[in-house]
Amino acid sequence: MSFKTAAVGSISGLYRRAVELVGWKAGGVAALLGLLGGAAHAPLHLWPVLALALSGFVWLLDGAAARPAPLRAAAWRGLAFGFGYFLAGLWWVGNAFLVEGTYPYLAPLAVVLLPLGLGLFWAIGAAAAVRFWSQSWRRVLVLAVVFSVVEYARGHVLTGFPWNLAGHVWTAGGPVSQVAAYIGVYGLTALTWAGLAAPATLGGPDTRWSVRLAPTLAAAAAFVALGAGGAARLAAAGEAVPTEVQLRIVQAQFSQDEKWRPENRDVVRARYLALTRESGLETRTHVIWPESALPVLLLEEPRTLDAISNTLSDGQVLLTGAVRRDVSNPIAPKYYNSLIALAMVGRSPVVEAIYDKQKLVPFGEFTPFAETMKKFGVGNVASVDTGFTAGPGPMSLDIPGAPSLAPQVCYEVIFPGFTPRGADRPGWILNVSNDAWYGNTSGPRQHFNQSRYRSIEEGLPLARAASGGTSAVVDAYGRTQDSLAIYAETVLDAPLPAALPPTVYALIGDAGFWVIMFLMAAAGLIGGGRRNTTG
């Protein structure tokens, strides 16, 4: 028996077993495949395992298409696959509920309910895909189109949560990731769905091995071409060009329960100031502290403002995350999760700009259906019991001594298109975050990888200060220029890299993604064979 015959026989055997699975067995295998696929994301980036997982998922949908109620069978498989995938990628969310003084009894619910909720998107996607299913290679394109649109919806519906899109399996700043400068991460997600699901055609009813193998070879060639194009773009870029803006990013580390204890306020403030004063401060133009760096209302703390003015020199600017209170209505004050720019003028701190976070984390910074939730003892994980108020949205801030910047607080940086464009296009992106809620897990590493995609998409450098996460300076190609290890307590001194002219994606947004959707849909539906029309 030749190797080819043995391989074809083994694949055909696995295919038959997958197609024959029903009920809980089909759901269990789908969930296991989803768990496997989750390893494709940071920090492992084992993207070949996603190819295995998606191929198995396609075979399960082949089985669903043959059932008496194909849409229900497909939805069940999609829900299970999505649950496993998001469980593998988001289990660390439960860590936020284990912080002292929050809601530890909700941790198991969060770990289960969030993947289930996101899995509903994939249940809808699986049912919609099977509605247009066929037994030819075109079913891979149908899957890619439907799930890419579903993922786009996941990034926009309600507050949106575009975490661990398929395009994120490629390390930001690497060759393949460079295509995001033209079609964004949603476009890269579409290509990834199609390319990594292509090996599914190795199994199927077609007896011609050349027909089975052709999509896999085409996908491999496409990714080689993308990688070669990205490598050429990076080679032409050369080394990042520094600007005259000299940054100092301060990374002080505290556990969340330690940081927010009232008796530790002086300790936290003293540590940030001590790190800021480390050798070389006189050469820095801008100092960056992370999200809600100090456990105080900064603008209402004369003692803290005095300490800052005694640390920085005239002309230097502090960019810091801070909780801000608006008392224009004393009976019902509003709280904001803000970024504040303080410039030193005459040895006094002057507020140059304020940005209030718009995209708030549900149950972290505000409670949906708050009154109902209170009856069940559910409030906010964050430090403000009443919850934060959302700001007006993305903007560019003008600050002394540097190009205008696009402030993005915490997970705002994972949203494509959140950076202003046109006449308001900034010179860089500033992301301040508090990743310490999630511990030393995969979560902060995924966050950093995703944040770097904004640099590639927009052609803008990124400065990032993240307590409990990766603080770094990233160039306009998504390449990390310098970074601090998670939980390192030190400072990062680096120049701000120069911006590029607006990328194609910065000019046309998601138009490239929708063109890809149209072309894939046309190829997947024209002459695609049998359609399933019953539920």
| CB 470, CB 464: distance < 8 Å | yes
What mean pLDDT do residues 197-220 have?
Answer: 89
Catalytic residue among 357, 359, 365, 412: 357
pLDDT digits (tens, 9 = 90+) for 227-265: 999 999 999 999 999 999 999 999 998 877 788 788 889
Number of neighbours of residue 490 by Cβ within 10 angstroms: 15
What is residue 500's DSSP assignment?
P
Catalytic residue among 151, 259, 365, 410: 410
What is the share, in percent, of the chain residues with pLDDT greater than 70?
A: 92
- Cβ atoms of 174 and 50 within 8 Å: the answer is no
Residue 504 lies in a domain: no
Which residue stretches of 277-392 are H helix? 302-309, 370-375
Residue 410 appears among annotated catalytic residues: yes
pLDDT band at 375 (very low <50, low <70, confident <90, very high): very low
Contact by Cβ (8 Å): 47, 196: yes
In a domain, 38, yes or no: yes
Which residues pair with residue 320 across a beta bridge?
Answer: 289, 340
pLDDT at position 525, please? 79
Could you give the number of structural domains in the chain?
Answer: 2
More confident residue, 49 or 385: 49
pLDDT 10s digits, 148-166: 999 999 999 988 999 999 9
pLDDT band of 368, cuts 50, 70, 90? low
If asked whether residues 179 and 299 sit together in one domain, one would say no
Q: Are residues 304 and 436 in the same domain?
A: yes
* pLDDT score of 529: 47
144: domain range? 7-236+510-525
Of residues 151, 259, 291, 365, which has the active-site annotation?
291
Is 535 among the domain residues? no
pLDDT tens string 109-130 = 889 999 999 999 999 999 999 9
**Residue type at position 195:** G
Report yes or no on whether pTM surpasses 0.85.
Answer: yes
The 10 Å Cβ neighbour count of residue 91 is: 18
pLDDT one-digit tens code per residue, 480-494: 999 999 989 999 999
* Nearest Cα to Cα of residue 55 among 81, 79, 93, 76: 81
Q: How far apart are CA 28 and CA 43, in angstroms?
A: 26
C-alpha–C-alpha distance, residues 347 and 342, integer Å: 11
Q: Between 246 and 103, whose confidence is greater?
A: 246
Is the domain of 483 the same as that of 517?
A: no
Residues 270 and 213 in one domain: no
231 and 168 in a common domain: yes
The answer to whether residues 109 and 228 belong to one domain is yes
4 catalytic, yes or no? no
Whether the CB-CB separation of 426 and 420 falls below 8 Å is answered with yes
CA angle 28, 34, 35 (to 5 degrees): 90
In the predicted structure, residue 293 carries a pLDDT above the cut 60: yes
